[in-house]
Amino acid sequence: MVELRNISKSFAEQELFRDVCFTIGSNEKIGLVGRNGHGKTTLFSLINGTLHPDAGTVVVPKNYRIGWLEQTIRFSKDTVLAEVCLGLLENERDAFWKAEKVLHGLGFSNADMQRHPREFSGGFQVRINLAKILVSEANLLLLDEPNNYLDVVAIRWLIRFLREWSAELVLITHDRGFMDTIVTHIVGIHRRSVRKIKGTTERFYQQIVQEEDVYEKTRLRDARKRRKTELFISKFRAKARQAGMAQSRIKTLEKQQIKEKLDSVETLDFSFTAAAFAAPVMLSVEGLGFSYDKSRPGLFEDISFNAGRKERLCVIGKNGKGKSTLLRLLAGELPPVSGVIKPHPKLEVGYYAQANVAQLNPERSVLEEIMSAAPNSLPQRARAVSGALMFSQDLALKPVRVLSGGEKSRVLLGKILMKPCNLLLLDEPTNHLDMESSEALCAAIEAFEGSVIMVTHNEYFLERIAERLIVFDENGARCFEGGYRDFLEQVGWQDEDFGSKMAVSEANALTQRQLRKRRSAQLRQERSRVLAPLEKEIEHLEKRISGLEEELRKTNEGLIIAAQRCDPAAIAGLSRLSKELPRGIDAQYAKLDAVFRDYESRREEFNRELADIDKEDSEQ
């Protein structure tokens, strides 16, 4: 068991978290969640000892072994198999079969295992690092985005492996479905504090929402009481009979702690703009084939399909089979070797690919780079897009060259958002996005009125979005008329022979859970849409009341001064105001109470339905 006691950590002027306390219990599998830049990887570094906290201690038992998936590539052996065997326990270095089993699961063939590690792409080199950690039989695994660079078959194998893992595990991933199928607990970094709960991400985020709803409800109630008390004090402190009561209430107010309004948490909030399109077919593909080397067999051949209006096609399969190449062909970046692609003359395409990050101009600002996608657009439009992608105010003026990989991905999305399109071509759009941003992207794709062709290994996305599939496997590429769950039940993955396929009952249970998640996400989005204007109205009324109360305070002070000067005209005018202003304040309070009751009623209605969904999850 690992214990974190009162941990605090800052970098320069940025405080990541303070007074963090939690334990990693025996056999617990923990999902670590939080926004990018909020300290998830830093927390990993504190646990494994590569960083030290500013305050507090990390208690690790003696002889407790921690395995940490590093992104740094360092190889010392001549073959993949020998390299992975370095991860075995000292007394098991000859147990090659353990390394072979893990390598097979991660997509390496027998021939691959005898190749030099540096002959492989960067993604497969990361898989080799992952394999070394998985065979190590560590007491605790720290896995930071282990499903990055894995195809869907390898991801499904890894899920089974980690579910059967008999020791402790802490997992970071942007793939919510991947995390929820593995973990027993969630540790979340939120508002510079860390909390741990038992259950899935859904339960964690539901608890956050409920706690902050209670806090805000209490804050507003306390603020109303405080204002009424201040109104009483300002009205009666100058009158002899009530001066004692007013003084008593002043002391009461001084003892009360003022709850500050919670800062808004910045989230990705955008929508793709669909250009009008009347024709039934956007894109027609007939007998498409491609090869980078014409002297060798092609990546794929004879692919045929149509993309109609508001279609959702997902491209799935193992890495290296041609999925990204297919999107490049559809985007016009590559010419086909055989077959034809017939786009409609009025088709407007928005193409996103991580490789296109290299095409960003490093010397432009975020705003300038987003504007370059539609030079004739108004600057206000680019500002709005930048803000929706969390580049608000001065952040939009940062040069592209200083951005992180995730920030550059958001700039690419911004360039697509700048001009209306009919067809989105998206190649692994969730890479470098955190869990909340991935959720926002999924919702935006669902709401898009045009069509989407997307390459993804994210089964959560596939469950929610895919209506038809283009499947790449050992037999080439083919179309499948049905969603992802239909594909798993009717066809399945050929390479899952090494382990039993998911039972139909479990598959159905997962389907129901994904549907509940989808409904929960829709409810949260609808709740924000409904409650946001009410929150703004409450804030407006509070400001109005504060203004009137300040005016009343000044009136009462003026009344005292006028009485001291024996100024009858001033006394008469100020007395009239001192009677009218409280009536105006009471009227505003009445409006505030009515709006607040409406706000509470609607919020409770949403929360009840969300709680019912959460209860169904806990029961199953």
Structure tokens of 427?
A: 């190649």
In the chain, what are the domains? 2-205 (3.40.50.300), 222-263+523-619 (no CATH), 281-348+420-502 (3.40.50.300)
Q: How many CB atoms lie within 10 A of CB 608?
A: 9
Rounded distance between C-alpha atoms, residue 555 and residue 552, angstroms: 5
| Beta strand pairing call for 14-24 and 2-11 | antiparallel
The pTM assigned to this predicted structure is 0.69
Q: How many CB atoms lie within 10 A of CB 89?
A: 13
Looking at residue 498, its pLDDT comes to 37
pLDDT digits (tens, 9 = 90+) for 343-397: 999 999 999 987 788 889 989 999 999 998 888 888 888 888 888 787 888 888 9
> What's the rounded mean pLDDT across residues 402-411?
82
Rounded distance between C-alpha atoms, residue 373 and residue 382, angstroms: 10
- Residue count of the chain: 620
Looking at residue 620, its pLDDT comes to 57
Task: Give 2's strand partners.
Answer: 24
**Order of strands, sheet of 2-11, starting from the edge strand that comes earlier in the sequence:** 14-24, 2-11, 55-59
> What's the rounded mean pLDDT across residues 78-105?
89
pLDDT digits (tens, 9 = 90+) for 114-149: 999 999 888 888 899 999 999 998 999 999 989 888
| Beta strand pairing call for 193-198 and 185-190 | antiparallel
Task: Give 317's strand partners.
Answer: 472
Identify the top-confidence range among 207-221, 223-237, 308-322, 589-603.
308-322
Rounded distance between C-alpha atoms, residue 148 and residue 173, angstroms: 8
Looking at residue 297, its pLDDT comes to 66
Structure tokens of 476?
A: 């080439």
Rounded distance between C-alpha atoms, residue 419 and residue 272, angstroms: 9
Local structure of 286: helix, strand or coil: strand
Q: DSSP assignment of 506-534, as one string?
A: HHHHHHHHHHHHHHHHHHHHHHHHHHHHH
Q: Give which of 123, 96, 130, 121 is closest to 110, Cα–Cα.
A: 96
Local structure of 449: helix, strand or coil: coil
Burial classification of residue 141, based on how many CB atoms lie within 10 Å of its CB (0-12 exposed, 13-18 middle, 19 or more buried):
buried
Looking at residue 143, its pLDDT comes to 94
Task: Give 197's strand partners.
Answer: 186
Query: Chain-wide mean pLDDT for the chain?
Result: 84
Span of 141-150, 423-432, 567-576 with lowest mean pLDDT: 567-576
Of residues 419 and 339, more confidently modeled? 339
Of residues 230 and 391, more confidently modeled? 391
- Mutual angle of helices 504-565 and 201-236, in 10-degree steps: 10
pLDDT digits (tens, 9 = 90+) for 45-68: 999 999 999 999 999 999 999 998
Local structure of 188: helix, strand or coil: strand
pLDDT digits (tens, 9 = 90+) for 513-559: 666 666 777 777 778 778 888 888 888 888 888 888 888 888 888 87
